[in-house]
Amino acid sequence: MSPEPPAETVVSRRTFFQLSMGWIAGTFAAAATAMATVRFLVPNVVFEPAQQFKAGSPEDYPDGSITFLEDERVFLVRRGNSFRCLSAVCTHLGCTVSRADRGYHCPCHGSVFSPEGTVESGPAPKPLAWFLVTLSKDNRLLVDKNQFVGPDKYLIL
Partner 1 sequence: MKVPRNRLWTWFAATRVGKSIFRVGPPHSNLERSQVMVSSFLLHVQPAKVNRHSLRASYSFGLGLISLYLFFILCATGVLLMFYYVPSTTQAYDRMKDLQFVVSAGLVVRNMHRWAAHLMVAAVMLHMCRVFYTGAYKAPREFNWLLGVGLFLTTLGLSFTGYLLPWDQLAFWAITVGTNIAGYAPLVGSKLKFLMLGGNTVGQEALTRFYALHVIVLPAIAGLMVAVHVWRVRKDGGLSRPEESPDSVQSIALGELPTNKSYGLMELARGTTPQVGQDPDDEVFSWPHLVFRELLLFLIVVAFVLFLAVFWNAPLEELANPIHPPNPAKAPWYFLGLQELVSYSAFWGGVVVPALIVTALVVLPYMDRGRRGVGHWFARERRIANTVFSICVAIAVALTVVGTMFRGPNWGWVVPWRTPPPTLEGH
Residues engaged in binding partner 1 (CB under 8 A) = 38, 41-43, 46-48, 68, 70, 73, 92-96, 98-101, 105-110, 122-123, 125
Q: How far is the CB of 94 from partner 1 (least distance, A)?
A: 4
Q: Which residues contact 125 (CB under 8 A, 6 or more apart)?
A: 91, 92, 119
Q: How far is the CB of 136 from partner 1 (least distance, A)?
A: 23
Q: How far is the CB of 96 from partner 1 (least distance, A)?
A: 6
Report the residue number, 105 or 140, with the smaller CB distance to partner 1: 105
- Is residue 86 within 8 A of residue 72, CB to CB? The reply is no
Report the residue number, 40 or 59, with the smaller CB distance to partner 1: 40
Report the residue number, 14 or 40, with the smaller CB distance to partner 1: 40
Report the residue number, 56 or 94, with the smaller CB distance to partner 1: 94
Q: How far is the CB of 146 from partner 1 (least distance, A)?
A: 10
Strand ranges inside the chain, DSSP E: 52-54, 66-69, 74-79, 82-87, 98-99, 104-105, 112-113, 119-121, 130-135, 141-149, 155-156
Q: How far is the CB of 145 from partner 1 (least distance, A)?
A: 10
Report the residue number, 105 or 153, with the smaller CB distance to partner 1: 105
24-61 in b/e burial notation, b at 16+ Cβ within 10 A? eeeeeeeeeeeeeeeeeeeeeeeeeeeeebebeebeeb
